[in-house]
Structure 1
Amino acid sequence: MDRDRIELAKIPDAAFVYGGMRGRTMSSHHQSYAWKALVEGGIKQVKDLRQDYKGDKYKEICLANGIAYFHYPVHKGMDTIANMVKDFPKFCEFIDQGEFFISCVQGLHRTDIALCTYWVFYGADNGKEPPVLVGYLREKGHDAGKIFHVLNAFYNQLAEQNGVEPMPIEVFKERKLVIKQISKGGEA
């Protein structure tokens, strides 16, 4: 992936994470200027986190540019959490392949939630650093409460589904504390 080429596009709220990139959704005509940079920069897949998006426009734009599209809705509702858990192995596989662009509408809040879920339930066990947060930051007037709501529901859903806790509760609390520190502007 050519980070320099992608950075030249000045995609709003962009940050590099886990061998890929996060930022504002690229389905808007306001972002069409950046597609060339994503393609030339080596982006191979897009992860769309919008829970309420029902159209095919984004998928069509991706495919027209030779980029795979993966819809992974993120929301705090229990039905959505159940689907997140179901598709989580595929989501992790996509992240691990790198060369991705992940976003929700603004590339801020659902993207933070998805990346925190990846790290807490998978990445930390595989030597990954905690994610870069862009939306749920105290300096932007947000706390990590919604992240924790989804993480707690995800933990409970996994425990119910598998009949065992996904990790010891002490480890889970430690990982959430790391997220809280990052959200407050501290180091992980």
Structure 2
Amino acid sequence: MNKWDLKYQGESAQTEPCFILKQQAAFLPDSGNALDLACGLGGNAVYLAEHGFTVDAMDSSAVALQIIGEFATEKQLKINLIHRDVERGALLPANTYDVIAVSYFLFRPLFPALISTLKPGGLIYYQTFNRLRRDKGGPRSPDFLLEVSELAAQFKELETLFYSEDLFQQMDKPAISAGVFRKPS
């Protein structure tokens, strides 16, 4: 059993999405195909499915996916479960998704694939920790912390609809980079 399976053992499905997805929901189209990448317990997947999307929930944890699957079945939500570890070369098909949500996951080699898998006009909602106030919590390894302005730079070929380097602006908590980006039509 991997560390994520152990973490999610005995948990319940999440019903709250990441802050950026909920706060900036006005940009969402009425329907389409969505991806909740590194979905964990599925807060983004559930939110998107409840808002009319057919959702692919992708994670390396079979335990988390089972929890989401049971919740989706009970609530009759259109959530497809995909057991894949994108850090180990899982491919993302080109021009597939109208919306991609990524929260608290950072694997830099994946940024070009995220752009490629978006349909023209598609949106990426992304939020994760950055190096500001890293002494206040969050990951310690620089592998899991964005540099200041890095998220915007990674998506520079997309239109920036919203961007923040310090989403919550709470000096006693770690800083969060967050953005909503749209692929040109």
Identify the TM-score tier after normalising by the shorter chain: 0.3 to 0.5
After TM superposition, the score normalised by the length of structure 1 is: 0.41
Higher strand share: 2
After TM superposition, the score normalised by the length of structure 2 is: 0.42
Which structure has more relative contact order (CA 8 Å, sep 6+)? It is: 1
